[in-house]
């Protein structure tokens, strides 16, 4: 049995899971730990069970006596922990190692993820070659990932390997690349630690390691953070691609189509600058000439001041003279290009199989999201294809049903017979809310898969004493939008 297999066995035997850790120190301490404070969790470790020892060493990054660590890792032993680079011989942690759990379309995922020690453990700013663990951007991208069965997937800029592990659940084979040798070492460790054998790791920048190869699915949490190209400003490999401004994200978007199979998808996160034109228009221009389907959702927009503060602090620099120096560099960089704001969002691209209508959707959506995002994104592209294949005559002849997660809300003035406002709410996906008028609400309410859209519109026109042809023509665009957004299902 290899050292990694012995480690896996010990972690499983200790019940080293997300739920067990939460039970160990409680939800309030878990929330504090998520905010970067470990004192409540440390105070809760009153027992010296193997789980408590492993939690203190690998999650809280606090040294434990060597004999306690040896007892918590009876199969691996101290020598094995040293061999794997987990600890020193006297129980000082060298890596962050923690359980990870999430539910995706394939069911419950439970893994162990190793990464470099964070600021909390180091007590100072991160090193430029730091390998980040599972952060907010990681969980965002994994939630967006479509679980479409493909032969070959690419995780571009794999970091600790978390997206490659997710992709390995629906791809026969995954290639994971990174410019950081250190990242690939830890990503390989994580794949082996979780007994995932269908990932190949390659060193190199962007698409260089996969020249002339095509993929059914490309996922990327690229180093999209906009960093000043100035001496003395740290360039963190996990977040900084080494290019000026948002050029790295632009490069990925422009070039990814050359590495997609027909019908293949790319999904990535990104930042884009506002400098005289809206950020989404800037992204739209990056796609000029690519012929790719595109759905870009801007989730957040920050002033350059907010952006600089966020990412300087992310690197572990606390307020003080050094923080102020970096802040000045960031603002100078933005000012040199006339940048006033930075957008953040999701990008889904597809290489169309045919020359049909291209999906071009660019939107700002900052409301809370629902669940099943990956499934929802896939359904939107499928709905687009279904709609593109049907003119208005064919749509009127089709039957539709209300999606299972859709509810209706009505508001009345006190004593009024008819509602003054009607809203359709979507429970999953983007959890959209759409206002509807009397006629559209009546049409949607009758969509149970038994009558054609045309027959429903005819009946509603009679009820409202309206002209059938005119009413139908008025409702068709709104019905198309409801189908595209997943409120109505063919």
What is the DSSP track for 152-178? EEEEES-TTSHHHHHHTTTEEEEEEEE
- Under the banding of pLDDT at 50, 70 and 90, the label for residue 48 is confident
Q: Answer with the residue of higher pLDDT: 318 or 173.
A: 173
**In this structure, what token pair is assigned to residue 406?**
């859709």
Q: Return all residues near 114 (Cβ < 8 A) that are at least 6 apart.
A: 86, 95, 96, 97, 133, 160, 186, 189, 190, 193
Instruction: State what percent of residues in the chain have pLDDT above 90.
Output: 86
- Under the banding of pLDDT at 50, 70 and 90, the label for residue 182 is very high
pLDDT at 160 over 90: yes
Q: Flag whether the pTM goes above 0.75.
A: yes
Average pLDDT value for residue range 476-481? 97
Residue 239's pLDDT is what? 86
pLDDT at 357 over 80: no
Average pLDDT value for residue range 203-220? 97
Predicted confidence (pLDDT) per residue in 259-272, tens digit: 999 999 999 999 99
Would residue 362 count as lying in a domain? yes
Angle between helices 438-445 and 453-463 (to 10 degrees): 130
Residue 252's pLDDT is what? 96
Would residue 98 count as lying in a domain? no
Residue 325's pLDDT is what? 95
Predicted confidence (pLDDT) per residue in 53-78, tens digit: 999 999 999 999 999 999 999 999 99
Would residue 187 count as lying in a domain? yes
pLDDT at 12 over 90: yes
Across 194-208, 304-318, 333-347, 432-446, least confident range: 304-318
CA 428 from chain center: how many Å? 16
On whether both 159 and 290 belong to a single domain, the answer is yes
On whether both 393 and 356 belong to a single domain, the answer is no
**In this structure, what token pair is assigned to residue 489?**
């299902």
Q: Answer with the residue of higher pLDDT: 118 or 302.
A: 302
On whether both 214 and 345 belong to a single domain, the answer is yes
On whether both 347 and 395 belong to a single domain, the answer is no
Q: What is the mean pLDDT of the chain?
A: 94
Across 49-53, 125-129, 276-280, least confident range: 125-129
Q: Return all residues near 120 (Cβ < 8 A) that are at least 6 apart.
A: 36, 38, 61
Bridge-based pairing of strands 260-274 and 293-303 is: unpaired
On whether both 201 and 255 belong to a single domain, the answer is yes
Task: State the sign of the Cα–Cα–Cα–Cα dihedral 328, 334, 339, 343.
Answer: negative
Residue 368's pLDDT is what? 94
Residue 125's pLDDT is what? 83
Average pLDDT value for residue range 195-210? 97
Query: How far is residue 58's CA from residue 22's CA, in Å, rounded to a whole number?
Result: 15
On whether both 190 and 260 belong to a single domain, the answer is yes
Predicted confidence (pLDDT) per residue in 369-382, tens digit: 998 899 999 999 99
Query: How far is residue 292's CA from residue 257's CA, in Å, rounded to a whole number?
Result: 7
Would residue 379 count as lying in a domain? no
Which residue carries 């962050």 as its tokens? 96
Residue 16's pLDDT is what? 97
- Under the banding of pLDDT at 50, 70 and 90, the label for residue 291 is very high
Q: Return all residues near 2 (Cβ < 8 A) that are at least 6 apart.
A: 192
**In this structure, what token pair is assigned to residue 345?**
């969002």
Distance in angstroms between the alpha carbons of the first and the last residue of the chain: 53
Q: What is the CA radius of gyration of the chain?
A: 26
Residue 63's pLDDT is what? 95
On whether both 354 and 247 belong to a single domain, the answer is yes
Would residue 232 count as lying in a domain? yes
- Under the banding of pLDDT at 50, 70 and 90, the label for residue 26 is very high
Query: How far is residue 477's CA from residue 488's CA, in Å, rounded to a whole number?
Result: 13
Residue 417's pLDDT is what? 86
Residue 315's pLDDT is what? 86
350 lies in which domain range? 120-366
On whether both 136 and 252 belong to a single domain, the answer is yes
Residue 309's pLDDT is what? 95
On whether both 283 and 413 belong to a single domain, the answer is no
- Under the banding of pLDDT at 50, 70 and 90, the label for residue 50 is very high
Average pLDDT value for residue range 208-232? 95
CA 410 from chain center: how many Å? 34
Domain limit, last residue, from 366, 398, 427: 366
Residue 178's pLDDT is what? 96
Would residue 102 count as lying in a domain? no
On whether both 78 and 227 belong to a single domain, the answer is no
The total number of structural domains that make up the chain: 3
- Under the banding of pLDDT at 50, 70 and 90, the label for residue 316 is confident
Predicted confidence (pLDDT) per residue in 95-112, tens digit: 999 999 988 777 888 999
Residue 337's pLDDT is what? 95
Query: How far is residue 90's CA from residue 184's CA, in Å, rounded to a whole number?
Result: 27
On whether both 214 and 274 belong to a single domain, the answer is yes
Average pLDDT value for residue range 270-290? 95
Would residue 414 count as lying in a domain? yes
In DSSP terms, 114 is beta-bridged to 97
Residue 242's pLDDT is what? 86
Q: What CATH number does the domain containing 419 carry?
A: 1.10.10
Q: What CATH number does the domain containing 205 carry?
A: 3.40.50.150
On whether both 75 and 41 belong to a single domain, the answer is yes
Average pLDDT value for residue range 465-490? 96
Residue 249's pLDDT is what? 96
Would residue 147 count as lying in a domain? yes
């Amino acid at each position: 049995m290899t050292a990694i297999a012995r480690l896996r066995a010990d972690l499983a035997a200790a019940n080293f899971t997300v739920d067990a850790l939460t039970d160990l120190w409680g939800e309030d301490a878990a929330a504090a730990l998520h905010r970067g404070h470990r004192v409540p969790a440390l105070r809760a470790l009153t027992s010296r069970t193997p789980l408590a020892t492993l939690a203190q060493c690998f999650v809280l990054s606090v040294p434990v006596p060597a004999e306690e660590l040896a007892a918590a890792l009876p199969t691996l032993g101290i020598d094995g922990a040293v061999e794997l680079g987990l600890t020193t011989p006297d129980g000082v942690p060298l890596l962050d190692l923690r359980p990870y759990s999430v539910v995706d379309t394939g069911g419950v995922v439970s893994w162990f993820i190793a990464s470099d020690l964070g600021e909390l453990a180091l007590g100072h700013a991160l090193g430029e070659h730091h390998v980040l663990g599972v952060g907010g951007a990681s969980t965002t991208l994994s939630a967006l990932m479509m679980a479409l069965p493909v032969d070959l997937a690419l995780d571009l800029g794999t970091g600790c390997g978390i997206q490659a592990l997710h992709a390995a659940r629906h791809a026969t084979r995954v290639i994971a690349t990174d410019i950081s040798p250190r990242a690939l070492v830890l990503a390989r460790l994580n794949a082996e630690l979780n007994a995932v054998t269908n990932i190949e790791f390659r060193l190199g920048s962007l698409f260089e390691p996969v020249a002339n190869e095509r993929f059914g699915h490309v996922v990327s949490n690229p180093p999209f953070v906009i960093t000043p190209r100035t001496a003395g400003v740290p360039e963190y490999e996990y977040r900084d691609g080494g290019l000026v401004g948002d050029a790295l994200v632009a490069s990925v978007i422009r070039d990814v189509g050359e590495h997609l199979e027909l019908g293949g998808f790319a999904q990535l996160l990104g930042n884009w600058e506002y400098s005289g034109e809206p950020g989404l228009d800037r992204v739209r221009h990056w796609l000029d000439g690519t012929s790719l389907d595109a759905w870009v959702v801007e989730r957040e927009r920050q002033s350059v001041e907010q952006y600089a503060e966020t990412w300087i602090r992310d690197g572990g620099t606390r307020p003080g003279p050094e923080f102020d120096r970096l802040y000045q560099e960031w603002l100078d960089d933005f000012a040199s290009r006339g940048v006033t704001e930075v957008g953040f969002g999701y990008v889904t691209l597809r290489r169309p199989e045919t020359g049909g209508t291209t999906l071009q959707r660019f939107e700002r959506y900052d409301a809370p999201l629902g669940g099943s995002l990956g499934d929802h994104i896939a359904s939107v592209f499928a709905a687009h294809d279904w709609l593109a294949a049907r003119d208005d005559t064919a749509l009127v002849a089709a039957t539709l049903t209300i999606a299972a997660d859709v509810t209706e809300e009505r508001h009345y003035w006190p004593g009024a017979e008819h509602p003054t406002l009607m809203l359709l709410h979507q429970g999953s996906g983007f959890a959209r809310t759409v206002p509807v008028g009397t006629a559209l609400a009546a049409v949607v309410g009758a969509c149970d898969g038994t009558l054609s859209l045309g027959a429903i519109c005819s009946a509603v026109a009679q009820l409202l004493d309206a002209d059938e042809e005119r009413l139908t023509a008025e409702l068709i665009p709104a019905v198309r939008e409801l189908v595209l957004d997943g409120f109505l299902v063919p």
